[in-house]
A and B are shown apart, each in its own frame.
Chain A
């Protein structure tokens, strides 16, 4: 008896594939980009440990490290300390970067911006530069006591994104993709957008390693959507090849592969057939995704006219909403040029202008579409900045160096508790007084919102059950969660 013959008559392609998958039996195959075959929308590929409040994430990373005391960490007392030395009792001999460790003085630079209470929660924030965001204060969960060990950009961004300063670990988006899989057959589960700031004075390096999948399987790496050229690399057919011709081409390739499969029986051939089908579906769906003409005037009023300009922060945030609508699990946006070593007065306004209206708009927009409750928005940089001035100090201008011991971030939607103001720093915004949130705690909390116990969502690598929060203690901050 010819076992292959018998086998061939018994198996259809789909059955075969699902069997192959069961043999593998893990997240690895099932979460291949677009394979939503076995999971209904919203259900994780790795089963969630508790009900998820956030089904997707839009993470707005402010590259360079925004100055917390100029935005969200109000320090009125500092007015009296203008140009006075940072007391040793506050600094406690803490490590400085080599950019200011040579400074003879560490004079206090109080924020030059107007602060005021926002919302019923009374969040004291920079209402001068963030008037729109201030109106959403009660929707936002404010965190003022994030802290990290890293003091320079490269390791700090790596730590914020992957939980480890050393490059090569999977990032938050990859973990989400690994856990949750995709909701959309035609789009990747994890998309990255790099926004172009209106001021490009002192941008920091952004490496594609930041959206790498580390030791997780490669399909969990972020797919970078580009503002110029093809939105997804190689998504467009060559000139002179219309969709209809491409469709036929793919059908022929698959027909020939089918014959080859029958002869050799390699299940990977079946996977390839499916991937060519998916590639075509992606090609078909991306033009619709990126076509902003279908958006109403109301949308552009909400996000601002800038949203029409490719690559602006407003434009990427609007794209993020469209991606979220279509089932993309994790959308990471990078907005650069927050590294204000000098000229805070000159640079902070344009940075805030870039983000203020679009962030507020995103909250409203998600609400009106009924997506706010299950979409988690995260806003923040990789560390904070110093209260003392780097370089020249005047009443109207100053610079600030990196500061890892405390900084501010915020979350909204997706089960984050709106109107919460969490954590307290000292009068100098230098040390944490109350309710610290290590970035590991923050990661654990985000995982919780996604339905995962951060100690349980792991991946076996080099003999260890590796996880986002690593081996050091981390805890979910319950006060931040609805």
Chain B
């Protein structure tokens, strides 16, 4: 059983051990182990699954075809063409052909012959065979094992003639566990507590470790740390990724991933929600956010790109991501041709793509943060309780308000009786009123501006008066308007307010109502305008290059109806400073133009006119009354009063019996608003609640989600050679034919795909997943090509262990914490990391797990470690991406003019010290201090990271202000917490940084280094000051510069130790 797989990935090793290097002549060959590697490497490129590349119609990856064509005659190697062609000396005939520059060894030729003579039996590829419960191997030293993992590992070690390493010393073990669970170094007190408890018998040790693991897994850091790996796979970033690479708002998805791990959401649910949360019955907000996984792909808005091509690219990215994350198959190869090695055809590929093409997402992202949808708004954590409660509260408050309306009826009747008999008292605002033109004279050619000492109003033509539901009003016609002379000569930074009752004859009207505007001087001036079915306000020096225009949105104009229109302007020279009220209600405005320049003027010599601009834009056939202009900003209440009071005047002038229903309603509303304090109180409650709702809505971020088109089935075209414009056969959504069947009862959409992926019968998902988790802890997967479990991927180093873990994970209910705990409590994991010469030769890469994991931490951990050790780390979670220190010019070099991520504006305060998982990730220029440590750009899916070791990394941890500042803070902390003696200082620093104390020789080096530094800074006090100025956090004034600078550099050294940078 153990020898089912060949250990190709361990090549230098395999030659050392007879059990794999040479196949025993007595033992039958196994296809997957012995034959497939030879065929795959040498034959399949031309005689495999790819129909386009296939030569001579021969495929050797399928037994019946190979036999049917005579290439293989089972049991008869000498009659098999394949053998003849491999053995021949004829350059014309020999296989593989000379131009491929591949040759078979004598051993390989012998294996092919033997395999055919033994019957040429084929096997399915190992990863496509469902995992079966492996038998625990027999081992010597059984008591070493803590759980089943160790049995598998030990069996392999013993085969290789190796023994496991001794257990790591408790402090190192604890540091490792802490880093693996939280991504952060342990506090010195916790190390001490663990070390003192982790003693005695085996059982006690196991319990202590188990308790600590449980405790650490309950911290929020657990989710942050696990999420980081997932966000690489999900290719999460904060920008669109192409061309302008502008801001894309979807950090709620990042936060959802963190929360999900912290809630220990079962991994199958985690998966289904991300692939198809939107298709679940009544999806929750969180399930919708989860679908952001589908929306993390890079998108473009580049002018000239072709929509169809963009959409094809987006779908291709999703197929690749799903392929790498769940199938462990390089499906993307089949975009242009049938996969050469794995059983994935081009048709399979586009059938998969079909699942993702039925989306409402558009081809271009608009360079805007919501990417032009689909998105949802996600209230902030602190707003969630309120936003959930508000609808019910608003309903209840509105109910009370309605009830009050009924209860107030008696009071209203009483008020009406009294009021009918009195003159309505109209307390209209008069302060700074400069025009008060009722236009209700009803006859004649004289109208009056009822302001004291007002000049006579110039009337052009003969006024026609007509009553249309109000007292008779003038009808505006060309040659029949009013001229108020020099009034209203406002500048753009003056506040003023104006309006009137208006009855516009036709919805097509395009006219000035109140205007002081000179259309012959590029429309200089201001006005209240009607056009396009909306009311508008202009403030203009020169149209359109130097002007403001706002207009109501939503068909505010009701032609043939009296409407009260009023404008207030606060003099702020901004469209936001203008409000337009229609019938007392403030209307939503559209900003049509905002080009006004700081030095602009809107003053003009043309007079203030009613019903037209200087010469044109006459309100033909319309009527105007009660024109008011104030030389100040009116409040909302004042505007309402004007609208209402003038309305009431009209109503009271009508006999009770003749009043319309609306008029009666207006009277009631007036009573309630003005004379019923209880109603006003209740109304305020409703308003406050609504305002709260609006405010929450306004500050809620959006996040990108996946939304299925409702009116179509998932389908796609096969694109020839992957080119978007070479459409071939149309295919509907389907999973690859060669994988496990898609159950009949699954819906044929993403939800079906998701359920198929987490179907326990799926041989891939479980293996691929546990392999990735294993990789997080042990530094390399059991399969070292985590994205490729196909024929050309690496074979598992411990195939049975992989299967055992997969089944264990499944049977636990896809419990991520449980799986990790299993790994972390194993004896395999607890081994010390020390390498012996023998192990270096036999197991250099620790593929056999002959020692504990030790490797350089990922970029984010390196930074978080320094922040945590120095006490700088902020534990604030979630929210928009942070922008910590970054060298200047990183964004600018790649940024386009007008792009919103061209200029990097560094954060201040706490955001400089948050965990790196919250970094703002600009994909076209990812943080350089992260990239140097192999962080991916997040432009596409990454399921593993490289671990290079370059001088550029040294330059970062030595010189990056982030790390220099951390060194200073660590030094400050040590000076605060200790008596300042060398012994105490060094102990403090080392305990925090390394979770241990120094050996004598090490201590000597550090102490002598400190002495040299002290001498240097004593002689160069200015340099001490300069060094301490690095970083934005305050320097503790009570400390001596020279001492602090000295210890800062000591800490800088310590934080650069290999032992610090390694797990």
B964 within 8 A of A: yes
Closest to B1029 in A: A239
- Which one of A34, A99, A269 has the greatest number of beta carbons of chain B within 10 Å? A269
Choose one: A204, A224, A276; the contact of B951 (CB below 8 Å): A276
State in angstroms the CA–CA spacing of A6 and B1027 once bound together: 44
Q: Does A423 contact B (CB under 8 A)?
A: no
The 0/1 profile, CB within 8 Å of B marked 1, for residues 226-237 of chain A is 101110111111
Pairwise interchain contact A238-B959, C-beta atoms closer than 8 A: yes
Q: Are A256 and B1005 in contact (CB under 8 A)?
A: yes
Q: Which of B238-246, B677-685, B804-812, B905-913 contacts A (4 or more CB under 8 A)?
A: B238-246
For A278, list chain B residues within 8 Å (CB).
Answer: 951, 954
For the complex, give the distance between the alpha carbons of A250 and B341 in Å: 49
If the complex has contacts A256-B1057, A463-B330, are A232 and B955 also in contact, measured as CB distance less than 8 A? yes
A49 to B69, CA, bound (A): 38
Please give the distance in Å from A197's CB to the nearest CB on chain B: 13
Knowing A95-B725, A233-B887, A239-B1030 are in contact, say whether A246-B958 is a contact too (CB < 8 A). yes
Quick one: which of A212-235 are within 8 Å of B by CB?
Answer: 212, 217-219, 223-224, 226, 228-230, 232-235
Contact B894 A205 (CB under 8 A): yes
Question: In the complex the two chains form, is A266's CB within 8 Å of B856's CB?
Answer: no
The answer to the question of B274 belonging to the interface, with a C-beta cut-off of 8 Å to chain A, is: no
Assuming the A-B contacts A205-B896, A248-B1009, A275-B949, are A265 and B304 also in contact, with contact meaning beta carbons closer than 8 angstroms in the complex? no
Contacts A245-B1013, A263-B834, A275-B953 given; does A239 touch B1027 at CB 8 Å? yes
Q: Counting CB contacts under 8 A, is B143 at the interface? A: no
Query: A205 is contacted by which of B245, B934, B1016, B1052 (Cβ under 8 Å)?
Result: B245
The residues of A that contact B244 with a CB separation of less than 8 Å are 205
Instruction: Kindly identify which residue among B302, B330, B787, B948 contacts A153, using a CB–CB cutoff of 8 Å.
Output: B302
- At the interface, yes or no: B888 with Cβ under 8 Å from chain A? yes
Residues from chain B with Cβ under 8 Å of A224 in the complex = 893
Let me know if A462 and B785 touch, CB within 8 A.
yes
Closest beta carbon of chain B to A70's beta carbon, Å: 20
Q: Interface 1/0s, chain B 1010-1023, versus A by CB < 8 A?
A: 00110010001011
Q: Is the CB of A230 within 8 A of B302?
A: no
On chain B, the residues within 8 Å of A95 by CB distance are: 725
Contact of B959 among A217, A236, A255, A256 (CB under 8 A): A236
| Chain B residues with CB below 8 A from A212, complex form | 937
Instruction: Decide: A207 near B959, CB < 8 A? Known: A168-B939, A218-B934, A229-B889.
Output: no
Is there contact, CB below 8 Å, between A168 and B1026? no
Chain B positions 240 through 255: 1 when the CB is less than 8 Å from some CB of chain A, otherwise 0: 0011110000000000
Cβ–Cβ contact A226 & B302, under 8 A: no
Cβ–Cβ < 8 Å partners of B91 in chain A: none
**With an 8 A cutoff between CB atoms, is B929 at the interface?**
yes
Q: Is B961 an interface residue (CB 8 A)?
A: yes
Chain A residues, Cβ within 8 Å of B725: 95
Contacting residue for B1057 out of A204, A206, A260, CB 8 A: A260
B305 proximity list for chain A (CB < 8 A): 97-98, 152
Q: Which residue from A34, A204, A249 sits with its C-beta under 8 Å from B1049?
A: A249
The contact of A3 among B836, B1045, B1059, by CB within 8 Å, is B836
For chain B, residues 600 to 656, give those with C-beta under 8 angstroms from any C-beta of chain A. none
The answer on a CB contact under 8 Å between B1027 and A241 is yes
**Please, how many angstroms separate the alpha-carbon atoms of A34 and B785 in the complex?**
28
A153 to B894, CA, bound (A): 14
CA distance A50 to B1059 in the complex (A): 44
Interface-central residue, A7, A20, A223, A462, by most chain B CB under 10 Å? A462
Inter-chain contacts of A32 with B (CB < 8 A): 948-950
Q: Compute how far the CA of A226 lies from the CA of B928 in the bound complex, rounded to whole angstroms.
A: 13
A253 contacts which of B889, B924, B1056 (Cβ < 8 Å)?
A: B1056
Give min CB distance, A224 to chain B, whole Å.
8
The one of A234, A241, A269 that contacts B887, using a Cβ cutoff of 8 Å = A234
Q: How far is the CA of A125 from the CA of B953 in the complex (A)?
A: 47
B511 CB to closest chain A CB, in angstroms? 36
The verdict on B979 contacting chain A, using a C-beta distance below 8 Å, is no
Given A203-B896, A228-B889, are A252 and B949 neighbors across the interface (CB < 8 Å)? no
A326–B1053 Cα gap in the complex (Å)?
Answer: 31
B819 interface residue per 8 A CB criterion: no
Residues of B within 8 A of A464 (CB): 333, 340, 792
Closest to A249 in B: B1053
Beta-carbon contact of A235 and B955 below 8 Å:
yes
Whether A463 and B1012, one on each chain, are in contact in the complex, defined by CB atoms closer than 8 angstroms, is no
What is the chain B residue whose CB lies nearest that of A153? B302
Query: Smallest Cβ distance from A470 to chain B, in angstroms?
Result: 10
CA distance A268 to B953 in the complex (A): 14
Closest to A207 in B: B924
* Distance of B264 from chain A, by nearest CB (Å): 33
User: Chain A 7-32 against B: per-residue CB contact (8 Å), 1 yes, 0 no?
Assistant: 10000000000001001010000001
When A168-B940, A200-B897 are in contact, do A239 and B1026 touch as well, CB less than 8 Å? yes
Contact B955 A282 (CB under 8 A): yes
Residues of A within 8 A of B1022 (CB): 240
Q: How far is the CA of A415 from the CA of B305 in the complex (A)?
A: 38
Report yes or no: B1026 in contact with A463, Cβ–Cβ below 8 A: no
User: Given A153-B302, A245-B1013: A260 and B1058 within 8 A (CB)?
Assistant: yes
* In the complex, A90 has a CB within 8 A of chain B: no
Q: Is A208 an interface residue (CB 8 A)?
A: yes
Provide the bound-state CA to CA distance between A250 and B330, in Å.
44
* Residues of chain A within 8 A of B856, CB atoms compared: 268
Q: Report chain A residues within 8 Å CB of B1059.
A: 257, 260
Minimum C-beta distance from A2 to chain B (A): 9
A194 contacts the other chain (Cβ, under 8 Å)? yes
Contact A240 B1023, CB 8 Å, known A4-B836, A32-B950, A462-B787: yes
For B893, give its contact among A194, A239, A263, A265 (CB under 8 Å): A194
- Among residues of A, the one whose C-beta sits closest to the C-beta of B926 is A208
* Residue B790 CB within 8 A of the other chain: yes
CA distance A461 to B151 in the complex (A): 32
Point out the residues of chain B lying under 8 angstroms from A25, CB to CB.
12
Interface segment out of the listed B413-421, B514-522, B837-845, B861-869: B837-845
B333 partner residues in chain A, CB cutoff 8 A = 462, 464
The reply to whether the CB of B433 lies closer than 8 angstroms to some CB of chain A is no
| Bound Cα distance from A15 to B929, whole angstroms | 32
Chain B positions within 8 Å of A259 at CB level: 999, 1001-1002, 1005
Q: What is the chain A residue whose CB lies nearest that of B336?
A: A471
- Find A218's partner among B844, B948, B1001 (CB 8 Å cutoff): B948
In the complex the two chains form, what is the Cα distance from A267 to B841 in whole Å? 12
Closest approach, in angstroms, between the C-beta of B317 and any C-beta of chain A?
9
Q: A218-B946, A245-B1013, A252-B1009 are in contact. Are A3 and B838 (CB under 8 A)?
A: yes
A334's nearest neighbour on chain B, judged by CB, is B893
Question: In the assembly, what is the distance between CA of A279 and CA of B937, in Å?
Answer: 24
Which residue of A263, A276, A462 contacts B792 across the interface (Cβ within 8 Å)? A462
Binary interface profile of B, 88-108, with partner A (CB < 8 Å = 1, else 0)?
000000000000010000000
A212 to B1022, CA, bound (A): 41
Q: Is the CB of B929 within 8 A of A234?
A: yes
| Measured CA separation A237–B305 after assembly (Å) | 45
Contacting pair A257 B791 (CB below 8 A): no
**Chain A residues positioned under 8 Å from B929 (CB to CB):** 233-234
Q: How far is the CA of A164 from the CA of B790 in the complex (A)?
A: 23
Tell me whether A309 is interfacial, beta carbon within 8 Å. Answer: no
Tell me the bound Cα distance from A282 to B1016 in angstroms: 24
Name the CB-closest residue of A to B303: A99
List A68-103 residues whose CB lies under 8 Å from chain B.
Answer: 95, 97-99
Please name 12 pairs of A and B residues whose Cβ atoms are closer than 8 Å in the assembled complex, sorted by A: A99-B304, A205-B242, A233-B952, A234-B960, A238-B1030, A240-B1045, A245-B1049, A246-B958, A249-B1009, A256-B1057, A456-B101, A462-B330
Q: Please give me the 6 A-B residue pairs with the lowest Cβ-Cβ distance, nearest first.
A: A463-B792, A240-B1027, A240-B1026, A279-B954, A97-B304, A239-B1026
Given A98-B304, A266-B854, A266-B1062, 11 more contacts at CB 8 Å? A32-B949, A233-B952, A234-B929, A236-B959, A238-B961, A249-B1052, A252-B1005, A255-B1005, A257-B1057, A264-B835, A268-B949
